[in-house]
């Protein structure tokens, strides 16, 4: 096996298996480099309905409606979009106590090394400012943390974030 053919550290099918295990029905989604493999895996699997959006601020709104209608949505967006979603997190996620799990592509993450990317530097301080708890997933070995997020969200009565720190690969 060459370097280019090695198994990825974080396989999108492992992520998808976690979503299915937790009864996810819909994925509200805007593509980013961290989740392009997950998108392909979801389409190939066909179990969850993918809802493509134009901007991340829509995500929690659509998820709120799906939740009200009895479904189990997750939001899959990048950290840049998390910043754009601020008023939705405040007004819907927090004010309405929505137990929605959000998978956030951690652009700029360098395993706590220095990063020139402001998206990476500001992500965790922003989550802490909102009082949102979060887990970091970098490899397949971490993915059980996604189930922990689904366990925590109803008890916390607010969104719980899973930061995707490893690049997906199909």
Partner 1 sequence: MINQADFFTVLNKHRAQAIVLPTMQASIPWQEASERAELDLPVNNVMGKASSVGLGVALALPATRVIVLDGDGSLEMNLGSMITIAGKQPKNLYHIVMQNGIYGMTGGQPIPAAERVSFATIAKGAGYAATYEFDDLEDLTTRLGEALAHAGPVFITVRVVPKPRIAASRGGGKPSPKVRSTGAAIVAFRQRFAK
Give the interface with partner 1 as residue ranges (CB under 8 A).
26, 49, 51-55, 57-58, 60-71, 73, 87-88, 90-92, 95-98
Least Å from the CB of residue 119 to partner 1: 21
CB closer to partner 1 out of 60 and 149: 60
Least Å from the CB of residue 63 to partner 1: 6
CA distance 62 to 66: 6
CB closer to partner 1 out of 62 and 136: 62
CB contact at 8 A, 45 and 14: no
Least Å from the CB of residue 4 to partner 1: 35
Instruction: Give the orientation angle of helix 12-21 with respect to helix 36-45, to 10 degrees.
Output: 60
CA distance 59 to 73: 10
Cα→Cα distances 122→34, 92, 108, Å: 18, 22, 10
Q: Is the Cα dihedral 66, 71, 77, 83 positive or negative? A: positive
Least Å from the CB of residue 19 to partner 1: 17
CB closer to partner 1 out of 51 and 136: 51
CB closer to partner 1 out of 70 and 125: 70
């Amino acid at each position: 096996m060459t370097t280019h053919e090695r198994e990825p550290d974080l396989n999108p099918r492992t992520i998808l298996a976690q979503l299915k295990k937790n009864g996810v029905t819909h994925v509200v989604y805007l593509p980013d480099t961290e989740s392009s493999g997950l998108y392909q895996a979801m389409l190939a699997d066909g179990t969850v309905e993918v809802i493509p959006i134009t901007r991340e601020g829509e995500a929690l709104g659509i998820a709120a409606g799906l939740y009200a209608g009895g479904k189990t949505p997750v939001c899959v967006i990048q950290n840049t979009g998390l910043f754009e979603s601020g008023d939705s997190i405040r007004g819907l996620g927090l004010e309405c106590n929505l137990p929605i799990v959000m998978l956030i592509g951690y652009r700029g993450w360098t395993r706590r090394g220095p990063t020139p990317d402001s998206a990476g530097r500001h992500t965790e301080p922003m989550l802490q400012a909102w009082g949102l708890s979060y887990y970091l997933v970098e490899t397949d070995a971490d993915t059980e943390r996604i189930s922990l997020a689904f366990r925590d969200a109803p008890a916390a009565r607010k969104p719980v974030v899973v930061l995707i720190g490893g690049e997906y690969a199909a």
